Every structure is written in structure tokens, then in C-alpha cells.
Amino acid sequence: HDSRCVKEEIFGPVVTVLPFDTEDEVIERANDTHYGLGATIWTNDLRKAHRVAHQIEAGIIWVNTWYLRDLRTPFGGMKQSGIGREGGIH
């Protein structure tokens, strides 16, 4: 879990898939980085997706999709990602 692909902010068509045992483990891993531009949650359980999304430190979190963005909503990273928010009323 110390791979640069997991710890650093990467751009390009890359996905990292790691096995996990608990929801808490997923949240801890997702937040264990200096970056927080975006995250994606894939699940059949939307309640779980929303519960986990509220605990992940990222500027935008997609559920069962990737890179769909309504330009009326704010976008930007957290931590060392980005330079604040853009778009929407925030």
C-alpha cells in the first residue's frame, strides 16, 4: 500500500484496486495521502457509498461513475491538491 500509484496524485488512465476487509480500512487508506483531488466509489449499495463518501477527504467523489461533472457545482481539491474551488456557488 506504499506504492507511488497509491500514495501520489497520478493522472492518466490508471486505476488502483486493493483488497480490503472493512469499511474503516477503506476510509483510512483513501485518506492516507497528502493529496485529495478526487475519488470514485463503486458499489451496489448507495447508502454505503454516501456514508463512505462523507468520510473521504477529497474535493469530488463520484459514485459508480467517473469524471461526470455538472459545471454549476464547485470543483477543487483538498490537502495538497489544487488551488481552491472553482465553479458554482460555494
pLDDT tens for 16-51 read: 788 899 999 999 999 988 888 888 999 999 999 999
Residue among 25, 40, 29, 37 nearest 6 (CA): 29
Residue 75 has phi, psi (to 5 degrees) of -140, 140
CA-CA-CA-CA torsion sign (14, 68, 43, 35): positive
Task: Tell me the pTM.
Answer: 0.73
Q: What pLDDT digit, counting tens, does each position of 69-85 carry?
A: 777 777 777 777 766 66
